Homo-oligomer: A and B are copies of this chain.
Amino acid sequence: MRDLLGLAERKKSRLILALDFVSGDPAVFADRLLAALEPLVVGVKVGLPLALRMGFRGVCELVERYGSGYYFLADFKLADIPDVVREELALLSEAGFDGSIVHLFPMGLEEALSGVRGHDVFGLVAMSHAGSRLLDEHFEDLLRYASRLGIRGVVAPATKPGLVARARAFLPEDYLILSPGVGAQGAEPGSALRHGATFEIVGRSITASEDYYGAAERVVESQRRVIGE
């Protein structure tokens, strides 16, 4: 398993790239981005849309080809019954992913997560879209649940910086916070870090830019001003 914080230190970056929306041939597109962005990007978040477009075998090849330089995060928003989540985590770990994002609202996951070795679990405690009323109502409940599970960290959105700050104040110190919603969804690069996030997840504002290297560089520069590098 790749060392997420070690990579972040070495690259002086807190940027995780979301490969949700791609254009053209997805394999060619992903290849081009990952070959170029290694100096700036710490982790790569791969979700269902990319896997549906390029097939799981294609995604696994990507993980294998670029695994030495990136931390690979499987973002399938796992939200199934415990037996199935256990199976999914085992398969994603076997496929070479370093970590997975798991929804916590289905609950009942204690046993399914207790057997996970060599693979990080990040619990989703809030989402970036405005309409997520039920999740927001139960934010503290989900934080309490996350802190009991002994997982690597949580996902909380940069579009709701107050929630990021509350997560940081509430959770054990060694829990990481990953914040999506930076860029196309409206939050400024560096803003989630300022509220206590450990990493920012950025997708379209880099992947849809003609100058994706420049776009990634601007994100990392904003981050460095916050983390003092």
A136–B106 Cα distance when bound, in Å, is 9
Complex formed: what's the CA distance from A200 to B132 in Å? 30
Q: Which of these binds chain B: A123-131, A188-196, A221-229?
A: A123-131
A170 at the interface (CB under 8 A from B): no
Interface residue A66 (Cβ < 8 Å from any Cβ of B): no
* Chain A, range 51-90, C-beta contacts under 8 Å to B: 51-53, 55-57, 76-82, 84, 87-88
Residues of A140-184 contacting chain B, CB below 8 A = 141
For A84, the chain B residues whose CB sits under 8 A away are 20, 47-49
Q: Which residue of B lies closest to A18 (CB)?
A: B84
Quote the shortest CB–CB distance from A59 to chain B (angstroms). 9
A138 to B141, CA, bound (A): 14
User: With A and B bound together, what is the CA distance between A100 and B133 in angstroms?
Assistant: 23
| In contact, A108 and B132 (Cβ under 8 angstroms) | yes
Chain B, Cβ-Cβ closest to A48: B88
Q: In the complex, are the beta carbons of A52 and B95 less than 8 A apart?
A: yes
CB contacts (< 8 Å) of A105 on chain B: these are 105, 134-135
Contact: B129 with A82, CB < 8 Å?
yes
A14 interfacial by beta-carbon distance below 8 Å: no
What are the interface flags for A33-57 relative to B under an 8 Å C-beta threshold, 1 for contact and 0 otherwise? 0000000000000011101110111
A104 nearest in chain B by CB position: B134
User: Cβ of A92 < 8 Å from any Cβ of B?
Assistant: yes
Assess whether A91 is interfacial by the CB under 8 Å rule: yes
- Taken together as a complex, chains A and B put the C-alpha atoms of A51 and B103 apart, in Å, by 19
For residue A29, CB closer than 8 A to chain B, the reply is no
Residue A107 interfacial (CB < 8 Å) = yes
A82 to B127, CA, bound (A): 10
Contact in complex: A106, B87 (CB < 8 Å): no
Asked whether, in the complex, the Cβ of A132 is within 8 Å of the Cβ of B107, the reply is: yes
Apart from the given pairs A49-B87, A52-B92, A108-B133, 8 other A-B contacts in the complex at a CB distance below 8 Å:
A47-B84, A49-B91, A55-B55, A79-B103, A103-B103, A106-B134, A107-B131, A134-B138
